[in-house]
Structure 1
Amino acid sequence: MRSQLLIVGIITLITTSVHASIIQNQPRNGVIAFDTPLGVSTDLSKRQVGEHDYIFPVSNFPRITLPIGSNKDEVSLNVDTGSWLTHVPDVATNCTKCLLPDGKLGLYDANKSTTAVKTGQTVKSKFGTNSYYYGEGVIDDIWFEPNFKIPGTLFNDVQDIGSGFKTGLLGLAKPPKGAENENIV
């Protein structure tokens, strides 16, 4: 009887310890968690790399606001699990629909960021007739929290954004071979 009670006690202690160590929505080593409200739709979809033969509603992308560069220009980015490159709208786009959740215009200014390094390489990503990002490769810091940044991140400093988009894009997919440095992950 005592051995059965001792076994039940040990199992309860182990179960309680395991349950206490699994805390949801708390920071864990190697994991970054952030709120990503949806633009319009409440149906969240995951896009796979290479799936370009269907219409994917942009409203299904979760959205995040991130500060970019030394001056921490806030921009709104759709989080895309099917793209690897990040596209950040620049002030050169004159994009009037690149709005932050508070309604203010959210554009990055590579010319004012003291940490920006322009690569001189043209970057073009086209997702459809009116859905594209054209710009230049830039290396700069992307901030996730006031004291947490990913320094020296390569992204497309978008200077021409198609009418199909009203935000930039945070690409979270694994990049193809040869483009490993084009990814924030």
Structure 2
Amino acid sequence: MVSLDGISTGGRHDLTNYLAALGKSPNVDSRVVAAEASTNGAAAVSAASDSGTVDQRSAVHQIVAEYDLHNITPRELSQLVQRLHDSGAISDADRANFSLLRRDLEAANVDPDESIDLFTFLEDRLDELRGQAEDNESSGTGSEAQELARQTASTLAQYDWLVKLDTIRQLGDGATVDQQA
């Protein structure tokens, strides 16, 4: 089984190991490192060099290569998540977290067949949560603050996955991270 949750996002070393497992240059540009660090290690990802064969990693690349996370419908997102789960690349918990993203898209009245940039959607969601947290500081309760913290952590984990899946997609097209800068 190939796992996308074997390498933490705690820093450049982990991404370098992942790239080395793929046979790509470990010369990672600062944009990718910043994206990795920006999520504060929320969810972990990799195509784990020790737990998957080349064929398994290739299968994950083929799945991810079919989807553009900057231009994807909620229906396609569900298909992507299901395919990754069926391949063993993501856990039940990760699939459940992505189902929360689909729920958020529905709550925002995004049509299941309307293309959306998931990065922009989640960035807007994080801004909204930040605003709610600021409002909550003056008038909210502790339980409201805890719920906002939970929602923020979930949204950061979703964003973290998107960054990593998009990086895998770009690498799967034969490009190195340096070429994507």
Please tell me the TM-score bracket, short chain as reference. under 0.3
Higher RCO by CA contacts (8 Å cutoff, separation 6 or greater): 2
More strand by share: 1
User: Normalised by the size of structure 1, how large is the TM-score?
Assistant: 0.23
User: Normalised by the size of structure 2, how large is the TM-score?
Assistant: 0.24
